Structure 1
Amino acid sequence: MRLFLLTALTMCAFAANSILNRLAINSGASDPAGFAVVRVLAGAVVLAVLVWVKAGHLPLRNHRRIAGAGSLSLYMIGFSVAYLTLDAGLGALILFGVVQVAMFAVTSMSGNTPQMRQVAGAAIALAGLTYVLWPSGAVQVNLVGAALMTAAGIGWAIYSLVGRSEPDALAGTAANFVVALPLTALALLIAGVEWRMSATGYMLAALSGGVTSGLGYALWYRVLPQLAPTTAAVVQLSVPIIAIVGGVILLGETASLRLVLGAGLVLGGIALAVLRLKPRQGV
């Protein structure tokens, strides 16, 4: 039960990131690139302070930083720039679809072939997510944006898989954010993105970075060693649904029948993939 609650709390933190991002960008308080840089900066500062108070040093010179910080930077850069040209719903579908495929593929190559129940559950959940997020009307996919979001999905999949071997979740996450900060900022500046931030934008980005990203990612690294890779992949499909429900509750957005049906499919698929059915005992 404790693992379930921690995992659910982590998914809620990820969903809160989406809500804060939408609040900042949709209102014009921030541009995607500026939001990403301030988000990583705030996460690095908050986590670094916590680790220094606790341990007195950051594990920056560690071989895990190559994969951890590198994949975090790839995710942040691809995610931010891709949304300049992609519909939000379609971008989320590409992101989480790639995460599923990448994590299932790595699991299979490592000799732990997913069970048919897990594959079927992931397929049902992804179908439900597609039903909810698929854009209405004609679908126009920007190939550059799709490629960037695919790269972001690969980055997040690597980041999640690397986290399974991180001995100290808080210190490892802090070090990843610190190393990823200059990489992310430099790449976005080279890309020539526009910097447009208001005071509200800075506040929302800092909240996203310091709390729902920084502490949320540290919590994710803490629960990952206790989750099978396939389970870690499938449960993340709940994040867009939680974000949409949060938008309904907090932002006054409309709850449609499409959302209710799609959410049912997502949750049912996750349950099928994650829950282990006990065999019935003979009377």
Structure 2
Amino acid sequence: MRATLYTIIALIAFAANSLLCRMALAEGYIDPWNFTVIRLLSAAICLSIIMVVYTYNLKSKGDFNQADNSDILKDKGSWISSVSLLIYALCFSVAYVQLDTGTGALILFSAVQLTMIGWGIYKKERLSILQWAAFIVAVVGFVYLMLPSAALPSPISALLMAVSGIAWGIYSIRGKACISPLRATGFNFIRSLIAIPILLLVGISNIKNISIEGILLACASGAIASGLGYSIWYRAMPLLKSTQAAVVQLCVPVIAAFAGMLFLSEQLTMQFIIASVVILGAVLVFILNKKAFKEPI
């Protein structure tokens, strides 16, 4: 039950991130470089404040198991996770403004699926025939949803989005080993700030074009959708198999499209309804078929 709750909240955060990025970058409120700077900085500040309060409360609990307390306080993420996070965020933002929504989503989630499912198979996570069928159906529904808005991408933009998807897959996989999702995510974002001087140098010519809307959207993307959302995702990851975590993310475009209809007055189409039913139904079948997730003897 906890895994389901954490996963749903994380997927909503991912969809919100997509919506916020679309609003900020597609509308030209801010450029990708400065958007990434504000996104990383706001996430790091938000999580740092929460971590200070969390650590204080943790240390003040006299009845808290000292061994567990020590393990939690030792969890400070890793440089590999931080670099993966930075690559994902930057490549996504830069590629996003040069790709159609459908094209970007197809490339991004294809890379995520291949990375995470490939890792799951490498770690001997067994999939049943029914799960393979459900996965294929979900992918077909995903392509059906995104294909009409897809266009032939430029090679560089496509490569950047693919790299972004691979980096996110790696970042997600590494969350399986974290002890304190909040601290791991917080320190990962704090380490990523080492790249801010370079990002500012590249985006300095666009600073004069940044609007208040762009700053607010970037802050919301960083502090809420990224900082808090990724912490919850890291809480869900140890409770999921890599293959599960990969497949459920196919729901993100559906949630994002639905949010676009609610908040951006985008049109509801029969194609969206059909694709949503196919994707969500296939993901549900995949998750409910738990027999394949038994550890190999």
TM-score by length of 1: 0.90
Q: Is the contact between residue 85 and residue 145 of structure 1 (CA under 8 Å) also seen in structure 2?
A: yes
Aligned counterparts, 1:60-209, within 5 A: 64-136=77-149, 139-183=151-195, 186=198, 189-190=201-202, 194-195=206-207, 196-209=209-222
Match of 2:125, as an amino acid? N
Deviations 1:178-206 (A, max 9, x none): 11122266257458884432111111111
- RMSD over aligned CA atoms reads 2.4
Deviations 1:28-87 (A, max 9, x none): 222222222211110000001111222269x99978412210110110121011123211
Deviations 1:6-27 (A, max 9, x none): 2111111111111111222233
Aligned counterparts, 1:33-52, within 5 A: 33-52=33-52
Q: Is the contact between residue 248 and residue 254 of structure 1 (CA under 8 Å) also seen in structure 2?
A: yes
Q: Is the contact between residue 32 and residue 80 of structure 1 (CA under 8 Å) also seen in structure 2?
A: yes
Distance change in 2, residues 1:9/1:147 (3 Å): same
Deviations 1:192-227 (A, max 9, x none): 884432111111111111111100000000111011
Unaligned runs of 5+ in 2: 60-71, 292-297
Q: Is the contact between residue 82 and residue 188 of structure 2 (CA under 8 Å) also seen in structure 1?
A: yes
Q: Distance in 2 between matches of 1:277 and 1:67?
A: 31
Unaligned runs of 5+ in 1: 279-283
Q: Which has the higher helix share?
A: 2
Please say which of residues 171-180 and 125-134 is displaced more in the overlay: 125-134
Distance change in 2, residues 1:210/1:16 (3 Å): same
State the shift of 1:234 in Å.
0.6
Match of 2:229, as an amino acid? G
Q: Distance in 2 between matches of 1:184 and 1:116?
A: 46
Distance change in 2, residues 1:30/1:60 (3 Å): farther
Please say which of residues 218-227 and 180-189 is displaced more in the overlay: 180-189
Q: Is the contact between residue 103 and residue 149 of structure 2 (CA under 8 Å) also seen in structure 1?
A: no
Match of 1:49, as an amino acid? I
Distance change in 2, residues 1:155/1:189 (3 Å): farther
Distance change in 2, residues 1:64/1:51 (3 Å): closer
Distance change in 2, residues 1:277/1:232 (3 Å): closer
Aligned to 1:224: 237
Deviations 1:131-153 (A, max 9, x none): 1111458x322111111111101
TM-score by length of 2: 0.86
Q: Is the contact between residue 160 and residue 224 of structure 1 (CA under 8 Å) also seen in structure 2?
A: yes
Aligned to 2:258: 245
Q: Is the contact between residue 34 and residue 203 of structure 2 (CA under 8 Å) also seen in structure 1?
A: no
Q: Distance in 2 between matches of 1:191 and 1:209?
A: 18
Match of 1:85, as an amino acid? Q
Deviations 1:144-189 (A, max 9, x none): 1111111101100000000000110000000001111222662574
Distance change in 2, residues 1:136/1:242 (3 Å): closer
Matched positions, count: 276
Percent identity between the aligned chains? 37
Q: Is the contact between residue 29 and residue 197 of structure 1 (CA under 8 Å) also seen in structure 2?
A: yes
